[in-house]
Amino acid sequence: MAELQTVPTKASVPAFIETVEHEGRRADAKALVKLMQSICAEKPTMWGPAIIGFGKKTYKYSSGKEGVMPAVAFSPRKSSSVLYLATKFEGAGELLKKLGKHKLSGSCLHITKLSDVDKSVLEGLVKGTWATRDKK
């Protein structure tokens, strides 16, 4: 069985952010760290080579496979920032309708520019996701 790559590492979050080539995405990453850290009240951790996460959440598939992932996370990719958030908590659908320009694939929220979305709505999505971290 292959080793999981999305595990906490000791890599520096600020050093990783400085490697983001796209200036706007780099600035957005710094803003997302501040936003998520203010809500989660935890320091960011690198998960694998490119995901910045806060806290931990356990999961268990119906097959019995279990694992750990960040409770709230994002990754500054080339084409967009990808936020890993819960999208099925009560009220999430209404928040997504009000968020602004984004794409959703599963629990991955793709935002090209933070300026394209309503920051207070994004905060609501992060808060809702953080509140679900202990739920199965």
- pLDDT one-digit tens code per residue, 48-107: 999 999 999 988 878 888 888 999 999 999 999 999 998 889 999 999 999 999 999 988
User: Is 3 among the domain residues?
Assistant: no
**Beta-sheet strand order (sheet of 108-111):** 45-47, 51-54, 72-76, 81-84, 108-111, 103-105
| pTM score, whole prediction | 0.92
| Residue 1 within any structural domain of the chain | no
Distance CA 68, CA 58 (A): 4
Give me the mean pLDDT over the 37-45 stretch: 97
Q: Give the pair of three-digit tokens for residue 131.
A: 């509140």
Contact 128, 91 (CB under 8 A): yes
CA atoms in the 13 A half-sphere facing the CB of 112:
6
pLDDT of residue 5: 66
Residue range(s) defining the domain that contains residue 119: 13-131
Half-sphere exposure of 42 (CA within 13 A, CB side): 14
Name which of 20-29, 33-42, 43-52, 126-135 the model is least confident about. 126-135
The answer to the question of residue 136 being in a domain is no
- Give how many domains the chain has, as a whole number: 1
Domain assignment present for residue 127? The answer is yes
- pLDDT score for 66: 83
CATH number (domain holding residue 17): 3.90.1150
Q: Print burial letters for 58-79: b (CB count within 10 Å at least 16), e (below 16).
A: eeeeeeeeeeebbbbbbbbeee
